[in-house]
Amino acid sequence: MTIFVVRMEIRWTAKPLPNPEIVARLSAELNVNPIIAKILVQRGIDTFDKAKRFFRPALTDLHDPFLMKDMDLAIQRIKQAISNQEGMLVYGDYDVDGTTAVSIVYSYFKTLNQNIEYYIPDRYKEGYGISKMGIDYAKEKGFTLIIALDCGIRSHELIDYANSLGVDFIICDHHLPGGTIPNAKAVLNPKQSDCTYPYKELSGAGIGFKLVQGYSKKEGFAEEKIMEYIDLVAVSIAADMVDMQGENRILAYYGLKKLNENPSIGLQALIEGSAPKAKFTIQDIIFGIGPKINAAGRISDAKAAVRVLIETEYTTARQLSRILNDRNEERKDIDTGITDVAVNIIENDPDFHSNRAIILMGEQWHKGVIGIVASRMVEQYYKPTIVFSLNDGMLTGSARSVKNFDIHEAITKCSEFVEQFGGHKYAAGLSVKVENFEGFKEMFERIVSETISENSLTPEVEYDLELDINEINPKIMNLVSQMSPFGPGNTVPIFKSSGLRSNNSARVLKDRHLKLQIQHQNRYYIDGIGFGLADQIHVVSNGQVFDACYCIEENHYNGQVKVQLRLRDLKKAAI
């Protein structure tokens, strides 16, 4: 079992209070408690029409796929391939976003062209993104069109290589482009500087969904056909932690609805192995379904995930899902072991406290779990972190960042020492030659030290409002729950309450979590649960007065639904 040291002190920050006149107007127009109106206005939802679109997302508000640059070129090339029954290869990354994207696009076009396969690169032999091995496979098997999903936007040389072999590419990617765009037949990426598509934050699977939506629209097919895949889009949005506003909110809302009411066969099989839920949420995907899908590529072959997700026969899907479950359990054992070693290295590093970044390297550390280990180090020590695995003379790294620090940009500034890299503001992957490791480590630490703020090195709970705990009731809980799905850009509302007392019920669960009851409306108590807050039990014991940051949630137990506080942090009350 991994033993963590006591958590760092967490800074509490209040969001700016909204304009009271706008709050009062919106509260009256919506006939909702001012508490809810304040939260909405804080999020830019300050009119009746905006609130209506927020609380009642509509599929009719999805954007026309042909607003995306090159969509017409992509559809034209695919139509040509289908008409001529050309070999098509659907190529995607090995994470959840990539495998769900491949599953959507492959399943859709499989009904139109039998000469089609899918390809997921081997994390260990080929690495991230487009690979020469994958292109050579396409040429060898006679595939003349590759549809690349969740990758390819920086693969200039490899696209040129494919072109030289007579293999065309359509790139569907959501990562940031470089200064130039690869010479593909079509490039679908709203983040291109000259793409006027109204929404820029689609997941890789979201762009794959827009591709099949565009094809369906062009051919006049029924809209219901593409809605078969919307639960897979929701899984990608949750697992890739992309923006939860605009078009992503619509896709996630209806994707979750399908996941709960009529999931695809593959997702149904994966859900069956999870703890029973009254309703699956974004969090259930992040911590339940997503890791099972990811485990396929982390431990072995990510094609196993696609095989589950495209399966149409339930018995077969169940058998395949067991493979993912087993790999996920194996993954847990591996990352726990590496995490223990990583914590030991850090705790015994005399330079740790003076350094602004964490860079760790282990020989033969499993490349499939180093990203998880990096995330755990950020959670524990709150510094930008890169964890490298040394294999066959090359270092493969996974980088994770803290709030308001762009780790992708920091790695870019160290590019003279880097062979290959890609990713986002808060997560990236890279490869470095062994002989360049010390140079990279020194430069990265210097760049972080020069550019990161002190606040960015302190974990923060940003709360929406201060609230009298006695104002909490089932109606407010119900309205807060209707603000879901939650994610970046629409985070779950967090409240701060002061002067609280427990009733001596506080206890520790599983050595890590805190369970207690908090006095509510004098005669009653409201349940509270704090995951990872076991070390704070002294704050709430012996009748002490304390303050808390928390979110309000539903607790389903024995057929009853009760209000529960999900505690984010606790502090002794200020005297």
Structure tokens at 564: 């529960």
Structure tokens at 207: 């762009």
What pLDDT, in 10s, does the model give residues 93-122?
Answer: 889 999 999 999 999 999 999 999 999 998
Q: Please state the rounded mean pLDDT for residues 383-410.
A: 93
Q: How far out from the chain centre does Cα 110 lie?
A: 28
Q: pLDDT category, 253, cuts 50, 70, 90?
A: very high
Positive or negative, the CA dihedral 119, 362, 330, 265 is negative
Q: Which domains does the chain have, with CATH numbers?
A: 62-325 (3.90.1640.30), 349-457 (3.10.310.30), 464-572 (2.40.50.460)
436-470 per-residue burial string, b: 16 or more CB within 10 A, e: under 16: bbeebbebbbebbeeebeeebbebbeebbbebebe
d(CA 72, CA 76): 6
Write out the H or E segment, with its range, that includes residue 391: strand 385-391
Q: What is the pLDDT of residue 275?
A: 62
Pairing of strands 394-400, 385-391: antiparallel
Structure tokens at 21: 């006149």
What pLDDT, in 10s, does the model give residues 472-522?
Answer: 988 999 999 999 999 999 999 999 999 999 988 889 998 889 999 998 876
Q: What is the pLDDT of residue 7?
A: 64
Q: Which of 6-20, 49-63, 142-156, 305-319 has the lowest mean pLDDT?
A: 6-20
Share of the chain above pLDDT 90, in %: 75
Residue 5 has pLDDT above 50, yes or no: no
Residue 3 has pLDDT above 60, yes or no: no
Q: What is the DSSP letter of 490?
A: B
Beta carbons of 457 and 353 less than 8 angstroms apart = no
Q: Which of 199-203, 206-210, 355-359, 523-527 has the lowest mean pLDDT?
A: 523-527
Residue 4 has pLDDT above 50, yes or no: no
Share of the chain above pLDDT 70, in %: 97
Q: pLDDT category, 1, cuts 50, 70, 90?
A: very low
Q: What is the pLDDT of residue 274?
A: 66
DSSP strand E in 464-523: where? Answer: 465-466, 495-500, 507-509, 513-520
572, β-bridge pairs: 546
387, β-bridge pairs: 360, 398
The region, left, alpha or beta by phi > 0 then psi within -120 to 50, assigned to residue 419 is: alpha
Which residue in 88, 134, 93, 91 sits closest to 293, CA to CA? 93
Which residue in 60, 118, 105, 119 sits closest to 215, CA to CA? 105
d(CA 168, CA 408): 29
Q: pLDDT category, 2, cuts 50, 70, 90?
A: very low
Beta carbons of 381 and 400 less than 8 angstroms apart = no
Residue 468 has pLDDT above 90, yes or no: yes
Q: Taking the chain, what is the end-to-end CA distance rounded to the nearest angstrom? A: 38
Residue 559 has pLDDT above 80, yes or no: no
Q: What residues contact residue 174 under an 8 Å CB cut-off, 6+ apart?
A: 150, 189, 190, 191, 201, 202, 203, 204, 206, 207, 242
d(CA 270, CA 100): 13
Q: How far is CA 247 from CA 200, 296, 445, 494, in A?
A: 9, 29, 38, 24
